[in-house]
Amino acid sequence: MTAMTAVHAPQDGTRRAGRPRSAAADRAIIAATLELFAESGAEGLCIEKVAAKAGVGKATIYRRWPGKEDLLLDAISAMRSPLPKPKGESVREDLAALVDAIAKESGDPRRARQFALLLGEGVAYPRLLERYIETVVEPRRDVVRGVLKRGVATGELREETSVEAAVDMLTGAVLARPRTGRDRSDRGYARRIVDELLTGLASR
């Protein structure tokens, strides 16, 4: 399971009265929520199952979150995992490292299942999909976007490069691959994707 970020406070920004919060209990609850979500989606997830899996009482969860959707919102935010920091020496190398990291994560069966569920349940639970895009998808796109913009500024990429289209192509290629049944262990795939894209975008 990927490393998780710090758990957020309840959505209304308030602190419930009672015992001091336990960071260990928070982590166990969030981990249990993500595991159960991957197994059964939002509809099949309930506070009782989360409490049992996390080894806490239901009251412990309700002191932190008023209901399962609020709990899921914080759990989705915790799906973030760090991308390698661009070194700033070569656009090609930085993009290859970023795309490889995204590809490895998307190849995780549990993460792929969570992503598919979020897309499928976006109509019934639009806040969940919005939170995922806001806290997981867009920050990652921003990192890739920044490398591409730097490449345009330094002259490594053509001045007329469509940065947004390039971001779509890079991230889309790796996110779609696990869903096609292709070999997820192909370590050279990320490099080939970047090389093919830069064949058209590199300055001549």
CA 108 vs CA 51, 86, 111, 112, 199: distances in Å = 25, 23, 5, 6, 29
What sign does the CA torsion over 176, 182, 184, 189 have?
Answer: negative
Residue 200 has pLDDT above 70, yes or no: yes
pLDDT grade for 115, boundaries at 50, 70 and 90: confident
pLDDT grade for 3, boundaries at 50, 70 and 90: very low
- Say what the pLDDT of residue 88 is: 93
Ordered alpha helix ranges (H), 133-162: 138-154
Residue 184 has pLDDT above 60, yes or no: no
Domains plus CATH for the chain? Answer: 23-77 (1.10.10.60), 91-201 (1.10.357.10)
Residue 54 has pLDDT above 90, yes or no: yes
Residue 163 has pLDDT above 50, yes or no: yes
Residue 118 has pLDDT above 80, yes or no: yes
Could you tell me which residue, 45 or 107, shows the higher pLDDT?
A: 45
| Chain segment 84-102, per-residue pLDDT in tens | 999 999 999 999 999 999 8
Residue 137 has pLDDT above 80, yes or no: yes
- Say what the pLDDT of residue 150 is: 96
- Say what the pLDDT of residue 8 is: 47
Q: How far apart are CA 104 and CA 89, in angstroms?
A: 23
Helix axes 23-44, 47-54, angle to 10 degrees: 140
- Say what the pLDDT of residue 119 is: 80
Of the candidates 102, 122, 114, the one whose C-alpha atom is nearest the C-alpha of residue 177 is: 102
Mean pLDDT calculated for residue range 149-176: 91
| Chain segment 12-30, per-residue pLDDT in tens | 444 444 455 688 999 999 9
